[in-house]
Amino acid sequence: MDRALEMQVFCMVVDKASFVAAAEPLALSKAAVSRYVSALEERLGVRLLHRTTRRLSLTDEGRQFYHQAREVLALMDQAEEAVSSAAPEPSGVLRINAPVSFGVLHLGPVWADFMKLYPKVELDISLNDRLVDLVEEGFDAAVRIARMESSSLVGRRLAGTRMCLCASPDYLASHAPIVKLSDLADHGAVAYTNFASGSDWDFDGPQGPESVRTRSIVRCNNGDTCRSIALAGGGISLQPSFMVAQDLRAGTLVEILPQYTSVELGIYAVYPSRKHLAPKVRVLINFLAQRFAAPAWEF
């Protein structure tokens, strides 16, 4: 079978969360869609999808393959565009949405270089932490930090970030020691209100998955504020590495229970469709992918 088509079918099944729903846009029968996915799993020697009568979900191998397959498909489209009719020089207004903290810390410093490379592109940048509708609100592209298992948007993974459990040395010195995960319940949490799991923080530890219900003493919808409170000794916090890596290196924050790992998130550039992608969007995606190929927050 065509390996590229296998990837395309698999990604469409994930995006639509259904073999039936994936069949129509691919102009295939449900049976053909199923055969392509089964052939892909057979060739790779791994199960990519958990199938039940009610729902589909990705296995760990399926999640990894999905992200990489999307990148391969995007690169194939870009290669075709590069050798098709001469593309016009990128120009016009480019409307971009991004999360506040990441937008300030990591996107802000790169925009000047982008503008030097593409002087005919006018950037219109909007920072907020809500999930915007790109089509309805007229954005050309967005940066999102999430688990992108299923989306109607096209996404290219730029980098990853892990959630770090941390507190200041002063806080740790003046409060009860944290030697096991359940000890967190006795401490005050500086909680980011947009964190999907709420007060229940999930980890993978030496004995497998564990969860602890935390007690929030502060709740805030802005990660920079949560970080500042943690730096000042206000409590423990679960923050993405792109925000606290420098603090951990400097010792102004200390990672707690490093043998427990929390959520791994992807940082994606997303856009409504890869078909007839505007030159200004294409160069943006490539620019960001190059800039974050070796993230400064990895440690």
Say if CB 217 and CB 126 are below 8 A apart.
Answer: no
Q: For position 80, what pLDDT does the model report?
A: 66
Q: Domain range holding 278?
A: 92-159+265-291
Distance between CA atoms of residues 178 and 260, nearest Å: 12
**Do residues 259 and 283 share a domain?**
no
Tally of residues, the chain:
299
Q: Which parts of the chain register pLDDT below 70?
A: 1, 53-54, 78, 80-87, 148-153, 196-197, 274-276, 299
Q: Give me the number of domains the chain comprises.
A: 3
Distance between CA atoms of residues 216 and 196, nearest Å: 15
Q: For position 147, what pLDDT does the model report?
A: 72
> Within 13 Å and on the Cβ side, how many CA atoms surround 108?
8
**Do residues 53 and 113 share a domain?**
no
**Do residues 284 and 146 share a domain?**
yes
Q: For position 193, what pLDDT does the model report?
A: 86
Cβ atoms within 10 Å, residue 186: 11
Output the domain CATH number for residue 71: 1.10.10.10
Q: For position 262, what pLDDT does the model report?
A: 87
Distance between CA atoms of residues 96 and 289, nearest Å: 15
